Structure 1
Amino acid sequence: MQSGLATMPAEELSAGKVRRRTPWSEGVRRLRKQKAAVIGGALVLLFILTGLFAPLLAPHDPIEQNLANTLQPPSAEHWFGTDDSGRDMFSRILYGARISMTIGIFSVLGSLVVGTLLGLIAGFYGKWIDTLISRIFDVMLAFPGILLAIAIVAILGPGLFNALLAIAIVNVPMYGRLVRAKVLGIKQEEYIMAARAQGMSQVRILFRHVLPNSWTPLIVQGTLGVASAILEAAALGFLGLGAQPPEAEWGKMLADSRDYITTAPWVVMIPGFAIMASVIGFNLFGDGLRDALDPKAQ
């Protein structure tokens, strides 16, 4: 059997350097080889940058109305045309990206933090704590996500922050159960038993050994979860429970333009395409991450 050094490039051996690839670096290398994931990552980056730099990129004020210029088709002055209030659609799409990315990313971050903590506690400590948390998750998962989000927003009142909060709450059980399942397997590993034998505290074991080994599925699910959060935000906006006028939000833009689908189809198609492209981008990137970080593929 040949030594592992025999397969190394001669230049590296002559320089006396042996490169060690970590699982993360190996995952990044595989991710870059997947065309679909690269395209998805490019779309994700495009929408994030669009949202960040919307004030610099938008040629017009997204809420400025010009009733003498309503429902104008795409032109050199208005690249995506104008809506029923004469507002520039291109500018509103740019600002809508800021709202959708904010809701998608921050709602997932909130769900991840709360769900991860609850899942860690349930899986690691078990007994009645696990039973209580798991039953709470089961009750929340018994309701369709969008209906539960609508109920929460109806209680809190319509608005951008309340929509973000509702989406975050609805998705907590998904991440909590994912972490719990991962922890149940990890805490039986030999290195966890060795840490306990050395007298390491439960909290230290939890955050030093268990949590770092649970990150991979969370990162993948979180990326895919952003796509779902964007759709849920658009649904709430379409129902008038999300961002309120005059804010430019893609779901609200769809709701306001549905009466003009035959006379001015661009006012419906453009925000719909923006939602579709952003969701596809996060899904492609999330699928690529799942394949790249899969331990069985290493």
Structure 2
Amino acid sequence: MSGQVTNISPQIPKVQTEDEQVISPWKEAWRTYRKNKVALIGLGIVSFFILLAIFADFIAPYGFKETELANKHIPPSAAHWLGTDEFGRDILSRIIYGARISLWVGFSAVSGSIIVGSFLGILAGYYGKWVDAIISRMFDILLAFPSILLAIAIVAMLGPSLQNALIAIAIINIPTFGRLLRSRVLSVKEEEYITAAKAIGMKDARILFHHVLPNSMAPIIVQGTLAIATAIIEAAALGFLGLGAQPPAPEWGKMLADSKDFIIQAPWTVFFPGISIMLTVLGFNLMGDGLRDALDPRMKN
């Protein structure tokens, strides 16, 4: 008796290749970012200064307040790798502790600018009409003044201190993020999913914070990274003018101001704080350029 033999071969599931797998936009952005060697250098520089700031108490060989007048203006040596200043304070230790101040000012000021500017920008872009008119005119007024002069005016009214310098830097950067979010919201709110959310009766607050804001974060992240570099320069400028951190705080701009009279006698007292500012700003700028390339769809092939 013959019967038909059925071929019962096991079905092997098809394995998706890496290109066929669904990758989240943020993972795709990170993959793109890792391919940018210059951006990785920027990330490395920023990470280096962040680690200095976090572990300053363990890395710095001396306290930033320790003075020894007998050792003033000692050139770089085994005991003081970057030399000493006019009070005999170790410059390396002050630069390490100064990283805390500069990074704290940069991150705090930009965070405040992002929060306030994004809130105002979202309101202006989403509601339009008189709300947009009022907020946009506020931005125009702030942008009408040169940023550093406006910061000086604000600190002059509030009084010279690091906290007031931080407030001033945050205020002058609000219009940048506000106008960026406004333009982004004007585009996003016309998308079909926003129209669908309105059609089912979703409240404006939920639409704004669950749909509009998440889809507007990419340009904010890029601009925020670049703004940190600008904030560090502005903090150093205010410190150089005596309107920022006050002695004995080891703020890099203040260190430059205190050493400007000794640039011929002890050039290392100016060079090393200046190179610290330059490297930190360079790191954030390189990192911001890499984030722009990774997050902006127009920059991808």
**For this structure pair, what is the TM-score category when the shorter chain's length is used for normalisation?**
over 0.9
> Paired residues, what number?
288
Q: Per the alignment, do residues 16 and 140 of structure 1 end up closer, same or farther by CA in structure 2, a change over 3 Å counting?
A: closer
Which residue, 74, 86, 106 being the options, matches 2:88? 86
Q: Which runs of 5+ in 2 are unaligned?
A: 1-11
Q: Decide which of 48, 56, 66 is 1:64's aligned counterpart.
A: 66
Q: Which whole-Å CA distance do the structure 1 matches of 2:198 and 2:191 have between them?
A: 11
Which residue, out of 53, 56, 59, partners 1:54?
56
TM-score (norm 1): 0.94
Q: Which residue of 2 aligns with 1:151?
A: 153
The corresponding residue for 1:273 is 275
1:19 Cα shift?
Answer: 2.8
Residue deviations 1:150-201 (CA, integer Å, cap 9, x gap): 1110011111111111100110000000000000011111111111111111
- How is 1:149-298 mapped onto 2 (pairs within 5 angstroms)? 149-296=151-298, 297=300
Paired position in structure 1 for 2:14? 13
Partner amino acid, structure 1, of 2:223: Q
Task: Please state how far the C-alpha of 1:68 moved relative to its aligned partner.
Answer: 0.5
Q: Letter of the 1:105 partner, please give it.
A: F
Change (3 A) 1:197 1:15: closer
Q: Percent identity?
A: 60
Question: How far has the Cα of 1:63 moved from its partner?
Answer: 1.1
For residue 7 of structure 2, what is the aligned residue in structure 1?
none
User: How far is 1:263 from its partner?
Assistant: 1.3
Query: Residue 295 of structure 1: CA displacement?
Result: 1.3
Alignment partner, residue 127 of structure 1: 129
Q: SS in structure 2 opposite 1:13?
A: coil
Code of the aligned partner of 2:14: L
Match of 1:22 in 2: 24
Q: Equivalents in 2 of 1:219, 1:292: separation in Å?
A: 11
Amino acid at match of 1:272: G
Cα distance between partner residues in 2 of 1:12 and 1:141: 60
Q: Residue 265 of structure 1 aligns to which amino acid in structure 2? A: P
Q: Distance in 2 between matches of 1:27 and 1:80?
A: 39
**How far apart, CA to CA, are the structure 2 residues paired with 1:292 and 1:15?**
24
| Offset, 1:13 | 3.4
| Equivalent residue number for residue 42 of structure 2 | 40
Q: Whole-Å Cα distance in 2 between the matches of residues 99 and 169 of structure 1?
A: 19
Distance 1:215 1:248 in 2: 34
- CA-to-aligned-CA distance 1:16-38 (integer Å, 9 cap, x gap): 99631111111100100101100
Matched AA of 2:179: R
Select between 197-206 and 268-277 the one with higher mean Cα deviation: 197-206
Q: TM-score, normalised by structure 2?
A: 0.93
Change (3 A) 1:215 1:15: closer
Over 3 Å counting, the alpha-carbon distance change for 1:38 and 1:162 in structure 2 is same
Three-state SS of the structure 2 residue aligned to 1:77 is coil
Structure 1 or 2, whichever has the larger Rg, is: 2
Give the Cα separation in 1 of the matches to 2:13 and 2:297: 27
User: Deviation at 1:15?
Assistant: 8.1
- Matching residue's letter, 1:95: Y
Aligned match of 1:5? none
Question: 1:14 deviation in Å?
Answer: 4.0
Alignment-derived partner of residue 139 in structure 2: 137
Partner of residue 102 from structure 2, selected from 100, 112, 118: 100
SS in 2 for 1:60: coil
Counterpart amino acid of residue 98 in structure 1: R
Per the alignment, residue 8 of structure 1 pairs with none
Partner Cα distance (2:237, 2:17) in 1: 58
Moved over 6 A (4+): 15-18
